Every structure is written in C-alpha cells, then in structure tokens.
C-alpha cells in the first residue's frame, strides 16, 4: 500500500472535513459480510493488494439472521465455494455446533448439508483469517462515494474524509444501504442487528448510472433459553457421523447441541389475526418486496388460514449465549404483540424476548445491469456481489463474492473472466438467473432451479471446480494435491470393481438370497452387482476380498456413480446440447434494432441484457423461441458475410 498526503477540504453536514488520499490498492471491497469476505480473500490470495472496508469490524461475516450455513441448494453453493478455494466451508467446519445432511430420503442430487453455527465464533474465526491474510487490509469506515477517475481508476471516499484509490471496486453492502427497521408502528433508519445504516452511498451509485430498488427481509425474535420448556418440544439432534463442508476437512468430532421443534397454536393465530392492522406489511407502510420462500408469520397466517398450526425450529445461537433463534417466526408486528405471540406457542409460555423480531428495508440494484462476470456493464472494473444484487442468504452472497473477487483480479490483468455456466455449478445457475432473468424478490437458491442437478451434486463440486481454482491461482498446492489423490482413488476403485468378477457359486447365491436379490445366471463384475437396488457398496464386502480402506467420502461417491450411471450419462447428453447454444456467441456490439423479424419486446430485452450467447438469450424473459430463430438466422448471415 502506498501512503500519500494530497489533501483537499470538503464541507459536510457535520462540519468541515479535510479530504486526503490515504492510500492506493489494487482492489477495494466495500462491505465485509459473507460476499465481502470471499471477494476480499479471493483477491488477496490471487496476489492483489486489497482493502476491505466495513462500517464496523464487529460485523465481519455477521449472521444477522439464521445462525446456520447450508440447507437445500445452499449447501451445494458452500461446497462449490470451497472447491474454488473459498473460506465459508472451512469456517463453518471450525465453528459448527450441529450438522445434518438434509433430504436423505431422496436421491443424491438433492442431498444438502446444513449446520448450526456458533454465530460469534463464526464471526471471530473469519475475522482472524482475514487479519492474517497477506495482501489484505481491514478498515472500519463508511464508504459514502465512489468516483471514477480519468485514468479509469476509482476513488472510494469515506465519512472520515480519507479516500482510497483502486484499480477495481467490489460493492458488497448487503442490507445496509438506506436500511430501515420496522417493528409495528415504529420505524427508523438502521442496518441489521442494530448497526448503523449506510445512507450516503445509494446516491453515489445512482450517479454512476445504476438503477436501485427496495427489497425487504426480516428476522424472528431471540428468546432466552432459561425461559423455555424444552420438555414440551421435540428434540432434533444432528447426524451421528458428520460430513464436513470443506474438502480440506478430514473429519469433525464435536459435541452437537440439540435444536427443538415446536408449533404455533390457535391462540397464536388469533393474536396475529387481531393485530394485522398493526403490521407494517399489511398496513401498507412497507411497500417493498420480501422473500417468497421465507415468509413472515403474518404471511403464513393470512395465506394458509386453514392451517391449525405452523411448525417452528428453536435453534441455539452459540455455545456461550442463551439466545435462541425461532426459525419460521419472522415478524414485523409491534413489540407488545410479539410478547403475547411468542408466549402463546408450545413450550414458550414463559418466553422472555432478548431481541425483538423486525423487518428491514434496504436498497439493492437491478442485477440485469451486470455482466455474467458480475461487472457493471457501463463501468469497467466496478463489480457487485451479494444482497445488493437482489439475492438473499449468506451462501448466495458468498458465492457471488468469490466470483466477483476472482473476476476483478482477472479484469485488472486483462484476462478473460471466469463465468460458470448452468451445467458447471449452482453458482452458475445463481448468477445466470440474476443477470439474465433478474429478480422481483430476494432470490433464494433451491435445487429445483438447477436443470442438471444430478451432475451438480455436493460430492463432486471439487471435480467440477477445483481445476478452475488452481488454474487461476486461488486453489493452493495442498488442496489441489488432495483433489488429485481423491480423483485417482475414485477412478482406481471404479476400475477395480469393474475388473473384479463374481461367479455364481453356492456361497455367493446364499449370500445374495440373504440380501433379497436375484441369483446370478453368469459371472458379473462387482460394479454391475452394485447397480442392483438391494445391493450397496458396503454390503458386498464379503464378496470383495481385495477391498482396501477408503474414506466415507469416496465410498459414497463411488456408489452414486455406479447406481446413477445411466441417469448421469443421459444428463451429460442434455448438457452437450445446452453447450451448443452456449457456444454460439453473440457479438457484444450487435444492434438488435437492426434485426428485422424480432418483436419489439425482444429487441428491448436483448438490448438491455446484452446476452453473451444464444443460450443466454433464450433464457431472457420476453424473448420467444421464434425470436431466437430470427437471431440465429441473422448471426449466420453475418458469419457468411464476414
């Protein structure tokens, strides 16, 4: 970092502030939530001098809402972040207090890890990693203005008067921009969890040409565990054997803390219905759009009025706190109503609120203004990641953060960006949905959004992405060598099972009968035998005298590869068709208004999104298959002329 002394004076509402250029960096990350942490770490690890600027160092990697990482679809994102060389998976492995693999009754495509975190430890561990990271500098300051210089560098101005110069800027402001808290009739300017809002940066973004909108999210109350009757609730334990999030974690052995399942009652429903006119959501005070897949309890009562009760999960916020998070009970009702509401639930009859529930409104951008690299279309080297892009959730934010960090570095180096497509990663699905389709509500990742989810499993995230991370310099030699070792072990084991033949002897037939499967009519390989529904890799141990020790991770991968081989091959063929459309590139300077036959709506949408390929163009809302055919014909005519 270069220290400088150039100074000017600026008059602010607080008086006269002397502005001065305090330093130069390659990359400045504005915000230190889950997106900011991954962006800053990626940039620094790729040897760029990086500053991460946050309004409060105590908010680094803060879990303002649910104290958990992962979940359906989200767990896939964490594994992919980890495979690329990110930190979220490693951090939750260090700080989890309970872990579960979800959807085990379904196929492996939708198996998703979810862990309860000690939220304070999660913050502390991430802050420690950031502070120790070479090339990475931390600053507590509010960014109030971003200016583009004539030489295409940026000045990021702070409220202190200090401003910092950078070759690239990544904006990861989360829910802080003009944050406003709603609790019944009460509303006031605030960021999440009582932190200050960022009230000045929004106007700077507007001046840079960005279109802003207002979104909403919310959080439940935190209740003291001393005032709960857990005997009336259903205890929810973690998995006996914990599967880590990070491919770098060999095993996890922690004493898991239980969660609890409880329910609302008819009294809860009555209290809410009697006070709907005091909810800012239903009184029209909140006009912004909230997350459809994480509705408030008021929404649930109104939209599912026929339901007698709603289930709620009581989750500990950490090992050294009595605060319990009531998942499923997000609300913006008045504080006094909340007291009655929580006390009406099973096991919470004596509940004491430590932190009330609230809704929060904030500014975010229209993500269709971004390229698939997450760079703003109108200004080179200005990137955006996280909730400012209209997404919700820690995992979605972190996934965008690592991609923005990588691409900011590559852009500075004049290299092609890393753009993961929908067949390569859930991260690709997430970013493509945001920048191509846009979103009218906080976007949440789900497995149903991925067309090729059998190929995009959690267990093969490293197979899909670690080579990419290694190529760009983000994945360490240690991680890469572990990946190669695992890859070789899987390939060797699959080949060994294929070569190992089982003949139909009396002992073999008796063994197969004991497993409830048909006898053999001819010798077959162990690999073919494991394809049978009744057979697993583990229960063929008696037939496999050459078997050697393999980790649970490799065993699960091998069994999935064998049992789902036909389905996987079918999906790979679908991906090949998808790739053909993705490979049909569209010139960035194409004038869609010049193309006869395109409908007016299609011209408008294509001109706004500026798709990189025919595949991306086909996913734009308002562009029909007929428009795509017209576009294909036009591109072919251009090719012949050229």
Q: The tokens 């529904």 sit on which residue?
A: 533
Residue pair 314/342 in contact (Cβ under 8 Å)? The answer is no
Alpha-carbon distances of 549 from 250, 252, 497, 545, 546, rounded to whole Å:
15, 19, 14, 12, 10
Q: Where are the beta strands (DSSP E) in 356-440?
A: 358-365, 382-384
CA–CA separation, 376 and 384 (whole Å): 7
CA–CA separation, 85 and 21 (whole Å): 33
66 three-class SS: coil
Question: Which pLDDT tens digit goes with each residue over 291-336?
Answer: 776 788 998 998 888 898 999 999 999 999 999 999 999 999 999 9
> Which distant-in-sequence residues (6+ apart) come within 8 Å of 129 by Cβ?
41, 87, 91
Q: Which residues of the chain have pLDDT under 70?
A: 1-15, 293
pLDDT value of position 287:
73
> Which distant-in-sequence residues (6+ apart) come within 8 Å of 255 by Cβ?
none
Q: Which of 11, 63, 55 is nearest to 32 (CA)?
A: 55
Q: Quick count: other Cβ atoms within 10 Å of Cβ 392?
A: 24
Alpha-carbon distances of 18 from 23, 144, 237, rounded to whole Å:
15, 15, 56
> Which distant-in-sequence residues (6+ apart) come within 8 Å of 609 by Cβ?
368, 435, 436, 616, 617, 620
Q: Which of 117, 116, 112, 115 is nearest to 72 (CA)?
A: 112
pLDDT value of position 1:
46
Q: Which of 352, 310, 350 is nearest to 327 (CA)?
A: 310
pLDDT value of position 12:
54
Residues in the chain: 642
Alpha-carbon distances of 316 from 96, 122, 472, rounded to whole Å:
11, 14, 39
pLDDT value of position 3:
45
> Which distant-in-sequence residues (6+ apart) come within 8 Å of 345 by Cβ?
262, 263, 264, 265, 268, 312, 351
CA–CA separation, 447 and 103 (whole Å): 11
Angle made by CA atoms 318, 320, 324, in degrees to the nearest 5: 45
pLDDT value of position 556:
93
CA–CA separation, 467 and 8 (whole Å): 48
pTM of the full predicted structure?
0.95
pLDDT value of position 2:
44
pLDDT value of position 108:
93
Bridge partners of 186, per DSSP, are 183
Q: Which of 196, 89, 93, 192 is nearest to 140 (CA)?
A: 196
100 three-class SS: strand
Q: Which of 63, 88, 93, 96 is nearest to 319 (CA)?
A: 96
The token pair at 267 is: 């009294």
CA–CA separation, 412 and 153 (whole Å): 10
CA–CA separation, 327 and 222 (whole Å): 10
CA–CA separation, 505 and 510 (whole Å): 9
């Amino acid at each position: 970092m270069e220290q400088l002394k150039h100074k000017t004076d600026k008059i602010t509402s607080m008086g006269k502030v002397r502005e001065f250029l305090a330093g130069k960096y390659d990359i400045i990350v504005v915000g230190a939530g889950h997106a900011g942490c991954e962006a800053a770490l990626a940039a620094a690890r790729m040897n760029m001098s990086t500053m991460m600027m946050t309004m409060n160092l105590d908010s680094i990697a803060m879990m303002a809402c649910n104290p958990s990482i992962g979940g359906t679809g989200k767990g896939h994102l964490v594994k992919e972040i980890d495979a690329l060389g990110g930190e979220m998976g490693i951090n939750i492995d260090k700080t989890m207090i309970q872990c579960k693999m979800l959807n085990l009754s379904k196929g492996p495509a939708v198996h998703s890890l979810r862990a309860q975190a000690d939220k304070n430890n999660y913050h502390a561990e991430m802050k420690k990693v950031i502070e120790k990271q070479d090339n990475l500098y931390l600053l507590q300051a509010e960014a109030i203005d971003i200016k583009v210089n004539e030489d295409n560098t940026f000045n990021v101005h702070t409220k202190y008067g200090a401003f910092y110069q950078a070759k690239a800027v990544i904006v990861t402001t989360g829910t802080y921009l003009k944050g406003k808290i709603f609790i019944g009739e009460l509303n006031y300017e605030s960021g999440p969890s009582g932190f200050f809002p960022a009230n000045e940066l929004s106007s700077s973004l507007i001046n840079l040409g960005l279109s802003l909108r207002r979104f909403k999210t919310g959080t439940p109350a935190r209740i003291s565990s001393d005032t709960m009757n857990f005997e009336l609730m259903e205890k929810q334990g973690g998995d006996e054997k914990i599967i880590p999030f990070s491919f770098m974690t060999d095993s996890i052995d922690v004493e898991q803390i239980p969660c609890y399942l409880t329910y609302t009652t008819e009294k809860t429903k009555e209290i809410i219905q009697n006070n709907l006119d005091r909810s800012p959501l239903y009184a029209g005070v909140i006009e912004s759009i909230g997350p459809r897949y994480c509705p408030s309890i008021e929404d649930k009562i109104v939209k599912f009025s026929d339901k007698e009760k709603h289930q709620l999960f009581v989750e500990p916020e950490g090992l050294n706190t009595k605060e319990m998070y009531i998942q499923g009970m997000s609300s913006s009702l008045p504080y006094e109503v909340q007291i009655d509401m929580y006390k009406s639930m099973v096991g919470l009859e004596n509940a004491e609120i430590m932190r009330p529930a609230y809704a929060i409104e904030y500014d975010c951008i229209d993500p269709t203004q971004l390229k698939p690299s997450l760079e703003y279309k109108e200004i080179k080297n200005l990137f955006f990641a996280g909730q400012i892009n209209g997404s919700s959730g820690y995992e979605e934010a972190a996934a965008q953060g690592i991609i923005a960090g990588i691409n900011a570095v590559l852009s500075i180096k004049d290299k092609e960006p890393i753009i993961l497509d929908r067949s390569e990663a859930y991260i690709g699905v997430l970013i493509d949905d945001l920048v191509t389709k846009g979103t009218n509500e906080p976007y949440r990742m789900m497995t149903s959004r991925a067309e090729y989810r059998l190929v995009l499993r959690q267990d093969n995230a490293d197979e899909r992405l670690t080579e990419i991370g290694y190529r760009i310099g983000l994945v360490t030699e240690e991680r890469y060598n572990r990946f190669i070792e695992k890859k070789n072990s899987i390939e060797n084991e699959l080949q060994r099972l294929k070569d190992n033949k089982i003949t139909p002897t009396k002992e073999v037939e008796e063994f197969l009968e004991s497993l409830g499967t048909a006898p053999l009519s001819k010798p077959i390989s162990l690999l073919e035998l494991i394809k049978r529904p009744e057979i697993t890799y583990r229960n063929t141990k008696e037939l496999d005298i050459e078997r050697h020790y393999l980790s649970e991770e490799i065993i699960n991968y091998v069994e999935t590869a064998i049992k789902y081989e036909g389905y996987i091959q079918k999906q790979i063929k679908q991906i090949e068709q998808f790739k053909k459309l993705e490979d049909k590139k569209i010139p960035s300077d194409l004038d869609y208004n010049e193309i006869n036959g395109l409908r007016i709506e299609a011209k408008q949408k294509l001109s706004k999104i500026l798709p990189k390929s025919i595949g991306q163009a086909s996913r734009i809302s308002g562009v029909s298959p007929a428009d795509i055919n017209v576009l294909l014909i036009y591109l072919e005519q251009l090719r012949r002329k050229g």
